Amino acid sequence: MLFGQPKEGLEMTKKMILVDTSKCTGCKACSAACKEWNDLPAEKTTLVKSYQSMKDFTPNTYTYITFEEKYENSKLQWLFRKAQCFHCSEPACLKACTSNAISKTDYGFVVIDREKCIGCGYCVENCPFSVPKVDKVANKASKCTGCTDRVENDLKPACVSICQPGALDYGDMDAMMDKAKKRLAEVQKKYPMANLYGEKEMGGTTYKYILLDVPKAYGLTANVSAPLSLTLWKDLIRPVGTWAMGGAAAAVLVGVLTNAVKGNYKKDPIADQSEPEKGGKH
Amino acid sequence: MSPSFGRGAMTNSWSDLQNSECFLIAGSNCAENHPIAMRWINKAKEKGAKVIVVDPRFTRTASQADIFAQIRPGADIAYLGAIIKHIIDNKLYDADYVSNYTNALVKINKDFKFDSGLFSGFDAKTKKYNMDSWAYQLDDQKKPVKAASFDDPDSVFSKLKEHFSRYTFETAENISGIPAAKIKEIADTFCSAKPATILYALGMTQHTTAVQGIRCYAIIQLLLGNVGKAGGGINALRGEPNVQGSTDMANLYNNLPGYLPAPNHTDKTLRDYLVHNGSFQQKHIVSMLKAWFGEKATKDNDYCFGYMPKFNSGVNASMARVWDLVNKGQFKMVINIGSNSLVSIPNRAVVRQGLAKLDMLVVADLFETETAQFWREPGVNPADIKTEVIFLPAAFVYEKDGSLTNSSRWIQWKDAAIKPLGDAKPDLDILDLLYKRVKKLYEGSTDPKDEPIFNARWDYGEEPKAIKVLQELGGYDETTGKVLPTLADYLKAPVGAVSSGCWIYAGVTGNGNLAAKRKNDDPSGLGLFRNWSFAWPGNIRILYNRASCDANGQPVDSKRKLVWWDAANQVWAGNDGADVVDKTKGPDTPEGKQAFRMNPEGIGRLFAAKYTSGMPATPPADGLPPIGIRPAGVCNDGPIPEFYEPVESPTENILHPQVSSNPAVVMPATLPEVQKVGKKQDFPYVLTTYGVTEHFCAGGITRNIPVLNELMPEPFAEISKNLAKKIGLNDGDKVELSSARGKVQVRCLVTDRIQSYKVNGKETETIGMPWSWGFASLSPGPSANELTIGVIDPTAGTPEYKCCLVNLRRA
C-alpha cells in the first residue's frame, strides 16, 4: 500500500483518540513511534523533572509525556499525560492562519500544509495549548499531524498502534465517545476526581483524555476556548470592518487587534499565568 | 522455583495474566521493564482485579497499583514470612489442595533443626550445609512417610508453622519498614482473591537471599492453592526477549541444555553421572550426546560422555565469579557475545582489571561496547594493556532467522527482515566459521583429546541455517534420520535411539516448524493461544495444570477450565495440554494424582527436602553405589526460607543478631583492594539499582539510538525530599555517591516516590540509581556497578545488585 494516497472505499467519519491515563504507564513508546514514523530527528535533552525529558514541543517533537508527582495525605499519584496537538473541532490555529495553510481533514485532524505555511507564527500565538512551533530556519510551523498519512490508509496513528498498556484507543467519534463515557464511570469508582477532558474544550477535540485528577493537576485548564481577541478579530471585526469602517479608525483597530492576535500584549509573565482563557503550558 | 515445583520457569504466561483476580507485583517493575505485561494486567483490572505493588520506590508499575508499599531493599522475606504466618494462623490455606498436591503431610527427619539463624548441618569452616537432616522420614521401601494430620509435630506443615511463628506483622514492620497494618492489608487482599498471581523479576532475585525469597512465593501460592491454575501461579518475568531460551540452552554454568545437571569432576563415566543425578536423566543426556556426536556416540563408548568438559564442583563459576577466575589468571582468552560485562557485572573494577590480564578478548556485538573498548576508559592507560582485542560485528535480531523463547515458554520462530549491514554476521554464522576454522587447524591430529572436535556432528549446512539448529533441538529418530514428530515419540523411544539437543524442545519441528505457527484463535477465551508457536513442554501453556482439578480430576474453577479427566474416553482432556505423567492414567492411579510430575515426589514442595525417588530398598549386590530415579532440587542455604540481612546492611538482624546475613554466602576475595565490604557508619544509605524502560540492560544498543537517548538522557540518583533537605540539595544538583568499592557523580532527582522510613526504630534512607550507563556510546554516563557489591546467592549465583551501602554528598 502506498502511503500518502488515501485508500479507496474508506468511510470519512470523524475519528477520536482516547487517551486513558488510568492505563498509561509513562513508557514513552508513543514518543519514539512518533519520531520514527514522522522521521523526526532526536534532540539533545536533560531530565526536566521526574522522568520527563521534554519541556515543550519543538519543530521536531510532536508529542511527549508530562510527569507530575502529587503527594497528599501520605498517598502518591504519579500522573502521566501524553501531550500532543488536540486536533480541536474549532481550531484557533486554523482561524488565525494568515495563509490558509491550516485545514481540518474529514477525519477531524488539523493539519498544516508546509507548502502554504509562511511561518508567521499566528498559529503558535493563538493555540491555547501552545502546540505548534515554528522552525526558525525553514520558517515553517509544524505539529502533530494525526498521522493522516496512516489513518487515510486505514492504519491507526503511530502512537496508538505502539501503545502496549492499551492507554491509547482510536476509532469513530461516536463509538469512542460511548467507550470513553463507560470507561470514565469505571475509573471514577477509584478516582472520584476523574474527568473527560476535550469534550467541551475548543468545541470538542479529537484527542480526548480520561484524566485521573482535575485538569489543573496536569497543567491544563478546563473549558478552554479560542482566545477572545482571535474570535473578535476573525469572526466579527475583520468581516465587518473591511466594509463598514473606513480610514484611520479601521487602521487603528486592526493594528491593536493584530498585536493582540500576535500576542504582543502578553509580555507580563504574571498576567500570562493568570490568563483565564489559556489552556495551560501544554 | 525448581526446588518447589520441579521446573525453573514462569508457571503461566503473559496472556494468562488477564485471568487473575489479584496481582502481587513485588520484585518486578513490569510497567518499566516488561511493558507488554501491562496490556494483560490492564485487561484483568478492567474486570475488577486488584494490583498490589511492593517496591523500594514508587515506580511506573506502582502508579497502576491499588495498594503500594515501600519496602527496604532486601527485606522481602520478613513481610512474606508474616503473610505465610497469617495464612497458617487463620487457616486461609486450601486444605484439600495442600493435602493432595504438596508435601505438607510428609514427615521430616527428627534431626532437622533451626536454631539462632542456622539450620542443622552447618559447617562454619566451609560455610556449607550438610543437608542430610533436611530429609524425609522414609519407610523400609525408601518411600516418604506421611503423617495423618497437619498437626503431627514431624509434618512439613508443623515445621512451617513453627518456623514462621516468629514472623509477626510487627516484626516484619521493624525489618522491612512497611507498616504492620499495610502488610495485613496486603495479606488480606491477596488471600481473599482466587486465583491470585505473583509477578517477580530481578528485584527479587538479585539478593543473597534470592532463592529463599522465591521459595516464600512458592509456599504462599501452594498454601493458597494458586499454582497450576489460570490466573494463578508465579510469573517470573524474563527480562530479555530470549532469556528463557538462553537458560533453556544452558546459559547457567552448572547446567546443560534442558536443565540437565552439568557433569562435575567426580563424574568419570555416565554411570557416575547417573548415580549423582538419577536414572531419569539417562535418556536426556544420551539423546543430547547423540545430537552432539551423532553415530560416533555409541553405548560401547559411553555415548562420548568422556568428551564432555567437567566442572569442579568446589568452584563457583557463575557470571560474577568468572571474573574472579579471570583475575586469578585462569583464562587466557574470553569470547564475549551478547554481554556488556564491563557495565553489567557488580563491582565492575573486577572486570576492568580482569580484562587487562587476558591475552586476548573477542567481542561480538552491534556497537563497540564498553567491554570492547575497556582500554579506552577514562583513567586507563592503553599503553599499559597487553590484551589483544578483536571486535566482530554482529547482526541485529531483525537481521537473522531463528527462534526466541519468551517468558511464557513459547518458542517463537521469526525470519530475518533484512540482511545484516556491512560485514555483520548472525551469531550462528560467527560460531560456525569459528568451529570450521578450528577444525581445520586440528586437521591430522591423532591426539585423543582432540577427538571431540573431529567427531562433533556439525551439519547446519555450508551456510549455516538456524532451522537446522532448531531441528537438532527438536530431535531426530537416529535409526531413520527423520525429525521426531512429538514429545511423546521422544519419550517412548529407547535410550540411544533418538537424539535431541535440548529434550524439553522435543517435537518442536515435528509436524512442520511448530514454532512458526501463527494462528491467534483462542477458543477457550483463557488466552491459551495453543496454535500460536509452540510452548515447551509438549505445548502445555500453564504448567502443573493437573492441580487446577480436584482429586477426581474435575476443574475446581468452572470459569477457568484448563484440563479434566474425561472418564468416557479414559483420557486427560481440556483446553490446555494436560501436564500429567501419562494422559491415559486417571485420577485414581498414582500417576494421575501427581500435579508436580517433575518433582521426584510428584507433589509441590513446601519444604525443600533432600530426597531421591526410586532408591533401591537394599544396596545393589555388585557393591556399586545405587542409582535412584531422580533427586529433588535443593537450596544450599536451607529447606525453609529465613530472613537474613543483605551483606551490606544499615541495621542488625533482629531475629538472630549473631547470624545477621546469609551464613552460606562466601565473600569474594580475589582482589582485596576492591572487593571490600562497607560499614554503616561510613556508608549510611541503602543503594538499590534498576533499569529504566527507555534503555535496555547494559545499554550497549539503546544508548546508541538517539531517540531513546532523548527520552532518557542521563543516569541519576533518586533521593527522598528528607535526604535532599538534610544534605542541602535541590532537584538536579550534582552529587557524588560512594561505596567501599568506588564512586560516581550524577545529578540527583529529588522525589516523593522515595520516602524516609523506619527500620528497627531508626530513620533510614534508600537511594536509587539506574545501571544502564557506561563511559562509551552516544550517551555516556557513570555506571552504577562501580558501587555495587559482588556477593552472590549461594544457590543461584545471582549478585546482590539490589542493595549495598553508600554515602552521598554534594559534588
Q: What is the predicted pLDDT for the residue at A231?
A: 73
In whole angstroms, give the CA distance from residue B110 to residue B104: 16
- Work out the minimum CA distance from B411 to partner chain A, whole angstroms: 21
Q: What percent of chain A has pLDDT over 70?
A: 78
Interval B156-172: pLDDT, tens: 999 999 999 999 999 99
Q: What is the pLDDT of residues B685-712, one digit of tens each?
A: 999 999 999 999 999 999 999 999 999 9
Please judge whether B713 and A45 are an interchain contact, meaning their C-beta atoms are less than 8 angstroms apart. Answer: yes
Residue B324 C-alpha from the chain's centroid: 22
Q: What is the pLDDT of residues A28-85, one digit of tens each?
A: 999 999 999 999 999 999 999 999 999 999 999 999 999 999 999 999 999 999 999 9
**pLDDT average, residue stretch B777-782:** 98
Range with the poorest average pLDDT among A157-171, B167-181, B201-215, B611-625: B611-625
Rounded to a whole number of angstroms, the distance from the CA of B781 to the nearest CA of chain A is 12
- Closest alpha carbon to B240 in B698, B688, B689: B698
Tens of pLDDT along B63-104? 999 999 999 999 999 999 999 999 999 999 999 999 999 999
User: Is A26 within 8 Å of B60 when comparing Cβ atoms?
Assistant: yes
Please indicate whether, in this complex, the C-beta atoms of B32 and A51 are within 8 angstroms of each other: no
If you count DSSP H runs as helices and E runs as strands, how many of each does chain B have, helices first? 23, 31
- Does residue B240 surpass a pLDDT of 90? no
Q: Are the Cβ atoms of B713 and A41 closer than 8 angstroms? A: no
The pLDDT assigned to B302 comes to 97
For chain A, the residues whose C-beta falls within 8 A of a C-beta of chain B are 23, 25-29, 31-32, 35-36, 41-47, 49-51, 53-54, 69, 71, 76-78, 80, 164-166, 186, 190
Model confidence pLDDT, tens digit, residues B437-496? 999 999 999 999 999 999 999 999 999 999 999 999 999 999 999 999 999 999 999 999
Tell me what pLDDT residue A226 has: 81
Predicted confidence (pLDDT) at residue A4 exceeds the cutoff of 60: no
- In this prediction, the answer to ipTM > 0.90 reads yes
Beta-carbon separation of B710 and A166 below 8 A: no
Please check the confidence at residue B299 and state whether its pLDDT lies above 50: yes
Interface touch B63/A164, C-beta < 8 Å: no
- CA B444 to CA B449: how far, in whole Å? 13
pTM to 2 decimal places: 0.94
Residue A219 above 80 pLDDT? Answer: yes
Q: What is the mean pLDDT of residues B386-406?
A: 97
Higher-pLDDT residue of A247 and B550 is B550
Distance CA B36, CA B16 (A): 12
Residue A138 CB: number of other CB atoms within 10 A? 12
Interface test with A, best of B182, B701, B710 (most A CBs within 10 A): B710
Phi, psi of B208 (to 5 degrees): -80, 0
Distance from C-alpha of B301 to C-alpha of B295, rounded to nearest angstrom: 11
- Closest B-chain CA to A26: B60
Q: Please report the DSSP string for B571-634 in residue order.
A: EEEESS---SS-TTS-TTSHHHH-S-TTSTTSSB-SS--B-EET--SS--TT-SPP--SEEPP-
Which backbone phi and psi does B478 adopt, to 5 degrees?
-75, -15
Mean pLDDT of B349-367: 97
Backbone angles phi, psi at B232, to 5 degrees: -115, -145
The 3-state DSSP class for residue A146 equals coil
Interface contact B63-A80, CB threshold 8 A: yes
Confidence of residue B416 (pLDDT cuts 50, 70, 90): very high
User: Which among B31, B66, B713 is the nearest to A25, CB-wise?
Assistant: B31
- From chain A, pick out residues whose CB is under 8 angstroms from the CB of B66: 190
Closest alpha carbon within chain A to B59: A78
Select from A25, A35, A80 the Cβ nearest to the Cβ of B35: A25
SS3 content of chain B, % helix, strand, coil (to 5): 30, 20, 50
Distance between CA atoms of residues B719 and B736, nearest Å:
12
A282 — pLDDT class (breaks 50, 70, 90): very low
Confidence class for position B369, pLDDT limits 50, 70, 90? very high
Residue B150 grid cell: 497437619
Q: How far is CA A241 from the centre of its chain?
A: 31
Task: Decide if pLDDT at A269 tops 70.
Answer: no
- CA B569 and chain centroid, separation: 39
Distances (CA, A) of B313 to A36, B446, B642, B793: 50, 31, 25, 16
Q: At B272, list the grid cell.
A: 557416575
Strands annotated E in B430-535: 476-477, 498-499, 534-535
Q: Nearest residue of A to residue B29 by CA position?
A: A25
Predicted confidence at residue B536, as pLDDT, reads 95
Cell of B626: 545405587
Mean pLDDT of the region B253-273? 96
| Predicted pLDDT of residue A268 | 38
Give the integer Cα–Cα distance in Å for A246 and B351: 83
Q: How many other CB atoms are found less than 10 A from the CB of residue A179?
A: 15
- Beta-strand relationship, B122-123 and B128-129: antiparallel
- Residue carrying the nine cell digits 557416575: B272
- Tell me, what's the pLDDT at A280? 45
DSSP string for B193-245: SSSEEEEE-HHHHSSTTHHHHHHHHHHHHHHTT-TTSTT-SEEE--SSTTHHH
Q: Using an 8 Å CB-CB cutoff, list chain A residues near B711.
A: 28, 31-32, 45, 53
Residue in A28, A32, A78 closest to B58 by CB: A78
Beta-carbon separation of B61 and A28 below 8 A: no
pLDDT for B743 = 98
User: Which chain A residue's Cα is nearest to B32?
Assistant: A27
Burial label for B194, CB within 10 Å (0-12, 13-18, 19+), is middle
CB count within 10 Å of CB A267 equals: 8
Once rounded to an integer, what is the mean pLDDT over residues B188-204? 97
pLDDT tens-digit readout, B580-608: 999 999 999 999 999 999 999 999 999 99
pLDDT in tens, B501-519: 999 999 999 989 999 999 9
In angstroms, the separation between the Cα of residue A25 and the nearest Cα of chain B is: 6
Here the contacts of B441-446 (C-beta below 8 Å, separation 24 or greater) are none
DSSP state of B102: B
Whether residue B724 is predicted with pLDDT greater than 90 in this model: the reply is yes
Give yes or no for residue B202 having a pLDDT over 80.
yes
**Which of B55, B60, B750 to probe by mutation at the A interface, max A CB count within 10 Å?**
B60
Cα-to-chain-centroid distance, residue B364: 25
d(CA B38, CA A110): 31
pLDDT of A237: 59
Instruction: Provide the pLDDT for residue A273.
Output: 38
Is the separation of the CB atoms in A54 and A48 below 8 Å?
Answer: yes
Would you state the cell numbers that stand for residue B47, as one nine-digit string? 474486570
Q: What's chain B's average pLDDT?
A: 97
Q: Does the pLDDT at position B661 exceed 80?
A: yes
Q: What's the farthest any 2 CA atoms get from each other in chain A?
A: 65
Contact B751 A78 (CB under 8 A): no
CA distance A175 to B346: 53
Provide the pLDDT for residue A240. Answer: 52
Q: Give the CA radius of gyration of chain A.
A: 19
pLDDT at B734: 98
Q: What would the pLDDT profile of B728-751 be if each residue is shown by its tens digit?
A: 999 999 999 999 999 999 999 999
Q: Using N-to-C axis directions, what is the helix angle for B270-277 and B280-293, rounded to 10°?
A: 140
Residue in chain A closest to B58 (alpha carbons) equals: A76
